[in-house]
Structure 1
Amino acid sequence: MTLDRLAAAITAALPEGAIVIEESNTAGRDVHPMGAGAPPATWLALTGGAIGVGPPLALGAALACPDRPVVAVQADGSAMYTIQALWTQAREGANVTTVILANRGYEILKQELAKVGANPGPSALAMLEMTGPEVDFVSLARGMGVPGRRVECAADLYRTLRAAIDTPGPYLIEAAL
């Protein structure tokens, strides 16, 4: 799944009036620009300086606006900071569809290291990978009461996202990159 096809699938699936939570600075870089062609929606994003805001921000948006679907476009690395928000989404029946962009690494942290001129060794870089063991977000979601599915192509992402948005309650889609 290429990043431009991923962005096209997500933005094509958005209904009018959706609330989009965007915390995917690396793999989701094309989602916001492509959203300009989507139906009118509210976009909320990380302003910088912290990671992990996506899952709780999506929950808050769903509780504040229960009549509007919430789509959280979420990086896998930053999701790990606040993944427990899925449990509250399930408990509250929050209408949140979370799309985890699974590139299996803390890419934003790698970029920040490069920006400050750091030259980390192999052991330090290994700590920024989400492998050994690989995180299974669908299993994590199910363990917190949120159904989910892993998708590996943009067409499946689009179909799964449309169905999840049209179904009340939380849902998680792990988009393999």
Structure 2
Amino acid sequence: ILTGGLLMLVLDLHLNTQFYDASFNGDPVLYQHLFWFFGHPEVYVIILPAFGVISQVLSTSAGKLVFGGPAMILAMGCITVLGSLVWAHHMMTVGLETDTRAYFSAITMMIAIPTGTKIFNWLSTYMGNPFSTISLDTWYALSFIFLFTLGGTTGVVLGNAAVDVALHDTYYVIAHFHFV
């Protein structure tokens, strides 16, 4: 998708096509849609293996299976599907229709449900183990959970379209990206 969008951009620049040129009835927002349609699910492709690592570290450290294994698998699937459906929540300031913004806001906030399930299950997996014997890898996993929870909380706030418009291009959004 990104390659197609870039190809259309190169064609606009060098062969005078009009995919993105508004003066010739092109759509300049189309490139943003194509970029985020590729780019947003890619973020989840990067984080999903990290989720597996965190599950493995906590399970090994606790000496027991991950709490709620089937729920963790279902949550992973839900995050994958929902993460592919929310690309335009990065585009709340480009003039999307009100119902479109409402859809992307709702789906964006729905990602918090399977993500919260994963956080709860990770913490439940480790619950009952003494903190005095925590290994370094477990500290990293627990630190990840803490920072990821902060980032997820800021993401739920940004899921609200009105708040997203107000916080667009601010350090709040940058902090959200870095926490997650």
Which TM-score band applies after superposition, normalised by the shorter structure? under 0.3
Is the helix fraction higher in 1 or 2? 2
Per the normalisation by structure 1, the TM-score is 0.27
Is the strand fraction higher in 1 or 2? 1
Per the normalisation by structure 2, the TM-score is 0.27
